[in-house]
Structure 1
Amino acid sequence: MSERIFDAYTDIFSTFKEFKGATLEKHVEKLKQLDHLIPHSATFFCVTNTSNQSFEYVSKNFEPTMMISIDQMIDGGMKFWWSRMHQEEMSTWLQSLQDLMTFTMENIALEDRRRMTYTWNYRVRAGKDTYKNIIQHTTPMFFDDQGKPIIGLAHYSVLEANEILPIQATAKILNANDEYETLFYQTYGGQKLLVEDITHRERDVLRLLSFGYNNDDISDKLNISAHTVKTHRKNVMTKTGCKNTTQIVAMCIRQGII
């Protein structure tokens, strides 16, 4: 199974050569210094290298969070990580990656790709043979000559797998006000989400509401009027049947939307 995944992943991220060099090494060294200051939590980060399916760096929180040694992750690379993914989700996960890559290469201008960030999810078997939900947020760091993302800084949020989440893929761009706006969102699998009909703009409004911003704040960040923000909130309540903003935000958090 891992060989098939390896071949499919290689096709998605195919590039002209293996990416290495002093610039990458300098970035990794800075991240190592930062890692010493980061407290322990149920999150970790890696520097991913899709040109050779390796992890250039794995942060200290990986080991206590996943109960897997960092050496195993570094030595085994992405093949090792894939070998622990839930078998039933691999094809869907690959499709989500393919869709994100296709969307980026066809719709995002080369100069804008450095402001993109991507999110997707899957389940991974931890050290005690229990599966955990992984929500991966990846931001490109380096690109090949065709503008394809090759090196990424990936942050992983680890949740217990008491609830099986449908695989979701999201692409966002950082706007002029330093706020992320959704450009692509897709849910995969047969599970119907209550919030599937929410638009990209409504999704962005909900995310900012969950951070505690009011209508005027959201208006400034998304370059829309306060009246439009109110309209988006009203539309979401109608679509979901929720009675207030608290219910909407709680629903979206449970379903991994924001």
Structure 2
Amino acid sequence: MKKNNLDLFTEIFDTHKEYCGTVVETHVQKLKELDAYLPRMQSFFIVTNTSTKMYPFVSKNFEYTLGLDRKKMAKLGATYWFSHFHPDDLPIWMRVLEDLMLFTMTEISKKDRPKLCYSWNFRIKNKNGEYLNTFEHLTPVFFDDSGKPIIGVAHLCIVGGGEQRPIIATVKKLNDKNEYETLFYKNYSQKLLSVSLTNREKDVVRLLALNKTSAEIAKKLFISTHTVNVHRKNILGKLNFDSTIQLVQYCLVNQLF
């Protein structure tokens, strides 16, 4: 599965060579790093165009993972894709998009918007009529004259079955060390312990789960090692965790990567 996922990362650049050497490549590299630590999962890429509600590119794994029709996805676009969303999740997901765009347009400068990564989760129905939990990371690659994201590269992962999970949305930005820093986090169910963590603590948790040392985390987040250790102590106290494995599972369920 790991080899297939790495081949998947190459597929997007084989098809869209214009992304090579851009910030998109940096975002994809972050996904590769994540892939080494997450449990096995099924993944695929979609290039989304919100202005046309179409998908100019859908990777081959879309069919292998969900059993859905790539040709219909390309021809019908959002009409086909949205018809497979869980009916309880779709309206919440639409509200997520509205909140993320409002945050982007009011809180993020135009020059920083290409550095953003949006993430959220929802349930999608496969060919057999089974709902599966899906985590999506989306990187904007084209903006309109107002700076609103129009085209994005989305990486989607199927993890677990169709059990209901809180829908969580995040906005992270690449800093000068090419490390993500959390700018926005919202739990749309309000029944999650992670609301007790600050955005900086979420960044530390994510890096701890990726097996980074305190010194490495300090360098990536431009803070002192002492500050990282204080965050670690506070995080363990809030979450009652004592192992990296627990942190990985926590990050996976609560979408902190």
TM tier relative to shorter chain: 0.7 to 0.9
1:218 counterpart residue number: 217
Matches within 5 A, 1:195-206: 195-206=194-205
2:183 counterpart residue number: 183
Structure 1 unmatched runs, 5+: 1-25
CA shift at 1:244, angstroms?
4.4
2:113 is the counterpart of 1:113: yes
1:165 counterpart residue number: 165
Q: Which piece of structure 1 moves more, 100-109 or 204-213?
A: 204-213
Per-residue Cα deviation, 1:121-149 (whole angstroms, up to 9, x for no partner): 11111001000111111000100000000
Using the alignment, how far apart are the partners of 1:242 and 1:213 within structure 2?
16
CA shift at 1:70, angstroms?
0.7
CA shift at 1:256, angstroms?
2.9
Change (3 A) 1:162 1:68: closer
Using the alignment, how far apart are the partners of 1:43 and 1:141 within structure 2?
20
Structure with bigger gyration radius: 1
Give the counterpart letter for 1:51 in structure 2: S
Change (3 A) 1:256 1:111: closer
Matches within 5 A, 1:236-247: 236-247=235-246
2:86 counterpart residue number: 86
CA shift at 1:69, angstroms?
1.6
Matches within 5 A, 1:30-109: 30=17, 42-109=42-109
CA RMSD of aligned residues (A): 2.4
Structure 2 unmatched runs, 5+: 1-12, 26-31, 33-40
Which consecutive segments of 4 or more residues in structure 1 shift more than 2 A? 26-34, 160-163, 241-258
Q: Secondary structure at the match of 1:85?
A: coil
2:138 is the counterpart of 1:151: no
1:193 counterpart residue number: 192
Decide whether the 8 Å contact of 2:123 with 2:162 is kept in 1: no
Using the alignment, how far apart are the partners of 1:28 and 1:245 within structure 2?
36
Using the alignment, how far apart are the partners of 1:255 and 1:163 within structure 2?
14
Using the alignment, how far apart are the partners of 2:94 and 2:88 within structure 1?
12
Change (3 A) 1:27 1:114: farther
CA shift at 1:162, angstroms?
4.4
Using the alignment, how far apart are the partners of 1:154 and 1:47 within structure 2?
6
Change (3 A) 1:61 1:32: farther
2:219 is the counterpart of 1:232: no
Change (3 A) 1:200 1:132: same
Give the counterpart letter for 2:95 in structure 1: Q
Using the alignment, how far apart are the partners of 1:244 and 1:85 within structure 2?
35
CA shift at 1:252, angstroms?
2.8
Using the alignment, how far apart are the partners of 1:136 and 1:203 within structure 2?
18
1:257 counterpart residue number: 256
Give the TM-score normalised by the residue count of structure 2.
0.83
Per-residue Cα deviation, 1:85-108 (whole angstroms, up to 9, x for no partner): 011111111111111000000000
Q: Which piece of structure 1 moves more, 214-223 or 85-94?
A: 85-94
Aligned length: 228
